[in-house]
Amino acid sequence: MIDKISLLVIYTGGTIGMVKDKKTGTLKPFDFTHLYDDIPVLRNFDYRIDFQSFDPLLDSSNMHPSFWVRLAGVIEENYEDYEGFVVLHGTDTMAYTASAMSFMLENLNKPVIFTGSQLPMGEIRTDGRDNFINAIEIASAMDDDTPIVPEVAICFENRLFRANRTSKFNAENFGAFLSGNYSSLADIGVRIKYKQELILKPNFRKLKVHKNLDENIAILKLFPGITANVVNCALNTKELKAVILETFGAGNAPTAPWFLDMMKEAIDRGIIILNVTQCKGGTVEMGKYETGAELERIGVIGGYDITTESAVTKLMYLLGCDDLSRQEVIHFLQTSLRGEMTV
């Protein structure tokens, strides 16, 4: 029986941790050491909540895989001391960081809940206060001493999403995130309604943290009128190992001979090409139309309904596993490892 739940809040940067200086009018970092004074309702939880801030704080637009390694290291170092973790992060690249954590933290059996806000914590109408309180409650939620949400998730605007299923789709509304191909894990109203059948189950194995990420990938987004020069530049990037091909609809692409020839030549050189739809909802079905079937014929890999954010971080993770062959990487790209896609 756990005597008192302990949570670690990790502030990385972003809007949620900013307040307006009354004298200058500029935004400055929120002082989390006085959090109980600013949000006294937290005392009602009767948890031990500790805080750790990154130094320097990082705007999410400056996010880099080296930061993901640092964040995973913080969770690894503190894993045995806390029942759950809340990560405060800027919204612009939150889906990338949270997706990366889902792959880097193998055998995760505790909640790692990401949240942020569209307005700074100190603003009167801030969404940060509710997002933060909800994330705290979810990170601490237990059923018979077992975490209810033992996975990486994003808590935002009264909904909880699987991290590697999300994309930021709105910069104006409080509901900034979308999970187009997978239902929310929980809906937050008068009560938090967990959808137990959708949440990953704990395996009670020892946490294994993967810190070797390979950044030699590219995203090639198709558009009507894309030229051979653009495709050629993308596919011939120095040290390139994999390309995420953002296609139309159900995984369709031009059937022009020059385009297919360039794709096949790159694949023959050993470059992995992963087909991901540009749509926020729906899945890649390369055999459905002739335009997609041609890609499958030359060796392009179907990404099912994986998001671009998840595809980027999954590829970095798999390519960073030195013991995996090219064929094993391809196999795992077509396998759901952390619930990131529906196969």
Tell me which of 12, 15, 91, 283 is the catalytic residue: 15
Q: Please indicate whether residue 15 is annotated as part of the active site.
A: yes
201's CB contacts (< 8 A; 6+ apart) are 150
DSSP state at residue 275: E
State the Cα–Cα distance between residues 339 and 335, nearest whole angstrom. Answer: 9
Strand, coil or helix: 147: strand
Phi, psi of 251 (to 5 degrees): 100, 30
Nearest CA-CA partner of 119 in 91, 159, 79: 91
Helix/strand/coil (H/E/C) assignment for every residue in 21-82: CCCCCCEEECCHHHHHHHCHHHHHHCCEEEEEECCCCCCHHHCCHHHHHHHHHHHHHHHHHC
Radius of gyration of the chain (CA): 21
* ω into 56 cis (within 30 of 0): yes
Strand, coil or helix: 259: helix
User: Active-site residue numbers?
Assistant: 15
